[in-house]
């Protein structure tokens, strides 16, 4: 049996109490990305909005048209206001997503991307995107400030940068799949796609692309020379591929510089390399650190929490997991994957009205010791409250949980006082 370090209740005293939304129905169910490109539509630029809906967050019902398929229906609302608060775009659409598979593993690993193309005058805007699944009353929303550039009037410029998760060839043309979450953690190779716009003054342009980690260390650099006069093209497409094998976990910045004879311009973009095992984005670093209560020592927790900035906390958090990696040369960190597997299962199975699953007694035992060898459930025994007995044969231990409240809040009868460490 593999066990994780458990630092007795002193670590738990550091943890905050979580509360649910009032209606319990507002969840994070989609990723959002917004990109700005040149448009021939007069004085307006093109704004592409990408909404990636997580299938595992939707409710699917058998289709009335096709009995072998399942369908989910929801309303998509997109609103755009200018910097005076005036609504310049407002659209409500009824969307459907169809799938042939409804297994939890399939749904949790797949998504559906919706795209909207708007044409807006250069300026600053507020974007509000929301999804409302009426059958379950589940609601999700995201807000974003966007700046629309005026590419047509500039002698040399660079569009926004798209992170591409997949690129294929269909009938001789490139077909790309945007990485809406801008997270390359589950990819072996990712691509960036962007345009260089030239009004005709330049002939040859040196294009340099550099990638920096969150410590501002350069991890990639690539340079190429493009002839921007070929076929009198105003728009010049560029694709660049990068392997992820050499990337540490964390946030990265892309800096693209285009230098011609008379003009030099640059553009920045960001992406994350985050393990898909993390239950939360790295931006939720405080909560991610709290979730290490069963594997980190007190001094390790305090060291991570004492980071002066979000970036410093993230670095200390990632360094903690790097030290736990049994095979640093491989892309997988087996210790981290197993820890978060147990944490996610605990949140799914043991969450109560007051605590997320990983904070409950059952979640604590499950994360530390893993799957029990045997579980005895006694929900309806006479003259006793509901209780369960978890048995671990290989370490000769058992744990008894009692539901004193009658609402599924099982408490461990005998607290854990020993210190257990993860062993391979």
Question: Residue 256 is part of a domain; what is its CATH number?
Answer: 2.70.50.60
CA dihedral 134, 135, 140, 141 (to 10 degrees): -20
Is 4 inside any structural domain? no
pLDDT digits (tens, 9 = 90+) for 112-147: 999 999 999 999 999 999 999 988 888 999 999 999
Q: Quick check: 421 pLDDT over 70?
A: no
Read off the tokens for 326: 């049994």
Task: Tell me how crowded residue 83 is: count the other CB atoms within 10 A of its CB.
Answer: 10
The span from the CA of 44 to the CA of 123, in Å, is: 10
**407 in the same domain as 280:** yes
Helix or strand holding residue 404 (H, E): none
**163 in the same domain as 76:** no
Query: Which pLDDT score, from 0 to 100, does residue 16 have?
Result: 37
State the angle between helix axes of 298-305 and 310-324 in degrees (0 to 180), rounded to the nearest 10: 150
| pLDDT band, very low/low/confident/very high, at 1 (cuts 50, 70, 90) | low
Q: Quick check: 231 pLDDT over 60?
A: no
User: Residue ranges of the alpha helices (H) in 49-156?
Assistant: 104-108
The span from the CA of 106 to the CA of 298, in Å, is: 38
**94 in the same domain as 144:** yes
Residue 3 CA, distance from chain mean position: 28
Q: Which of 290, 295, 231 is closest to 7 using CA atoms?
A: 295
Q: Which domain-ending residue is among 102, 118, 152? A: 152
Q: Which domain-ending residue is among 152, 169, 186? A: 152
| CB contact burial 329-365 (16+ within 10 A = b; e otherwise) | eeeebebbebbbebbbbbbeebbbeebbbbbbbbbbb
- Where in the sequence is the domain holding 106, given as residue range(s)? 22-152
Longest dimension (CA), the chain: 89
**159 in the same domain as 108:** no
Is 83 inside any structural domain? yes
Pairwise pLDDT comparison (280 vs 213), residue with the higher score: 213
Task: Tell me how crowded residue 374 is: count the other CB atoms within 10 A of its CB.
Answer: 10
Length of the chain: 424
**295 in the same domain as 181:** no
Is 86 inside any structural domain? yes
Helix or strand holding residue 208 (H, E): strand 204-212
Read off the tokens for 334: 């087996």
Please list the helix, strand and coil fractions of the chain in percent, rounded to the nearest 5, in that order: 20, 40, 40
SS (H, E, C) 212-253: ECCCCCEEEEEEEEEECCHHHCCEEEEEEEEECCCCCCEEEE
| pLDDT band, very low/low/confident/very high, at 418 (cuts 50, 70, 90) | low
**132 in the same domain as 183:** no
Q: Quick check: 420 pLDDT over 80?
A: no
Q: What separation in angstroms does the CA of 389 have from each of 290, 345, 401?
A: 28, 19, 6
The span from the CA of 86 to the CA of 161, in Å, is: 28
Q: Which domain-ending residue is among 126, 152, 178? A: 152
- On the 0-12 / 13-18 / 19+ scale of CB atoms within 10 A, 328 is exposed
Query: Which pLDDT score, from 0 to 100, does residue 220 have?
Result: 93
> What does the DSSP assignment read for 167-188?
EEEETTEEEEEE-TT-B-TT-S
Task: For residues 349-368, give the mean pLDDT.
Answer: 90
Tracing tokens 């797949």 back to the chain, one arrives at 110
Tracing tokens 């072998």 back to the chain, one arrives at 68
Read off the tokens for 256: 């693209």
Rounded to 5 degrees, φ, ψ at 69 are: -115, 165
pLDDT digits (tens, 9 = 90+) for 99-121: 998 887 788 778 999 999 999 99
The span from the CA of 270 to the CA of 219, in Å, is: 14
**259 in the same domain as 353:** no
Question: Residue 89 is part of a domain; what is its CATH number?
Answer: 2.60.40.10
**172 in the same domain as 128:** no
**178 in the same domain as 100:** no
Q: Quick check: 12 pLDDT over 70?
A: no
Query: Which pLDDT score, from 0 to 100, does residue 245 have?
Result: 78
Per the structure, how many domains does the chain have?
3
Nearest 5 degrees, angle CA 259-CA 264-CA 267?
95
In contact, 258 and 236? CB cutoff 8 Å: no
Is 268 inside any structural domain? yes
pLDDT digits (tens, 9 = 90+) for 305-333: 999 988 889 889 988 998 998 887 776 78
Is 421 inside any structural domain? no
pLDDT digits (tens, 9 = 90+) for 22-57: 344 678 899 999 999 999 877 899 999 999 998 988
Helix or strand holding residue 121 (H, E): none
Q: What is the mean pLDDT of the chain?
A: 86
């Amino acid at each position: 049996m593999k066990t994780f370090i458990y630092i007795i209740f002193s670590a738990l005293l550091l943890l905050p109490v979580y509360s649910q939304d009032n209606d319990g129905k507002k969840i994070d169910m989609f990723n959002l990305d917004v990109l700005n490109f040149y448009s021939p539509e007069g004085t307006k630029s093109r704004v592409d909005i990408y909404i990636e809906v997580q299938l595992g967050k939707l409710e699917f019902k058998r289709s009335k048209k096709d009995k072998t398929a399942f369908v989910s229906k929801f309303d998509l609302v997109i609103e755009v206001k200018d910097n005076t608060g005036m609504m310049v775009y407002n659209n409500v659409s009824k969307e459907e997503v169809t799938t042939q598979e409804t297994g939890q593993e399939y749904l949790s690993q797949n998504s559906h991307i919706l795209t909207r193309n708007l044409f807006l005058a250069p300026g600053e805007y507020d974007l509000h995107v929301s999804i409302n699944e009426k059958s379950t009353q589940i609601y999700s929303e995201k807000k974003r400030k966007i700046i629309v550039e005026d590419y047509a009037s500039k002698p040399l410029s660079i569009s926004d940068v798209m992170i591409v998760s997949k690129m294929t060839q269909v009938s001789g043309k490139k077909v790309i799949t945007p990485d809406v979450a801008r997270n390359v953690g589950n990819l072996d190779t990712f691509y960036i796609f962007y345009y260089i716009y030239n009004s005709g003054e330049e002939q040859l342009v040196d294009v340099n692309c550099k990638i920096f980690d969150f410590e501002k260390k350069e991890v990639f650099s690539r340079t190429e020379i493009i002839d921007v006069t070929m076929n009198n093209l105003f728009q010049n497409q560029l694709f660049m591929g990068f392997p992820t094998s050499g990337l540490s976990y964390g946030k990265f910045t892309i800096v693209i510089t285009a230098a011609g004879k008379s003009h030099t311009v640059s553009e920045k973009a960001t992406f994350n390399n985050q393990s898909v095992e993390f239950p939360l984005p790295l931006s939720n670093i405080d909560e991610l650190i709290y979730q290490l209560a069963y594997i980190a020592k007190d001094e390790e927790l305090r060291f991570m929490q004492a980071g002066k900035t979000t970036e410093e906390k993230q670095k200390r958090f990632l360094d903690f997991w790097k030290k736990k990696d049994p095979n640093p040369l491989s892309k997988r960190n087996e210790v981290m994957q197993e820890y978060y597997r147990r944490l996610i299962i605990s949140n799914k199975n043991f969450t109560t009205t007051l605590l997320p699953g990983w904070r409950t007694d059952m979640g604590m035992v499950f994360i530390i010791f893993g799957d029990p060898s045997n579980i005895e459930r006694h929900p309806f025994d006479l003259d006793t409250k509901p209780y369960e007995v978890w048995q671990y044969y290989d370490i000769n231990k058992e744990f008894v949980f009692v539901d004193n409240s009658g609402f599924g809040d099982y408490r461990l009868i005998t607290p854990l006082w020993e210190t257990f460490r993860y062993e391979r």
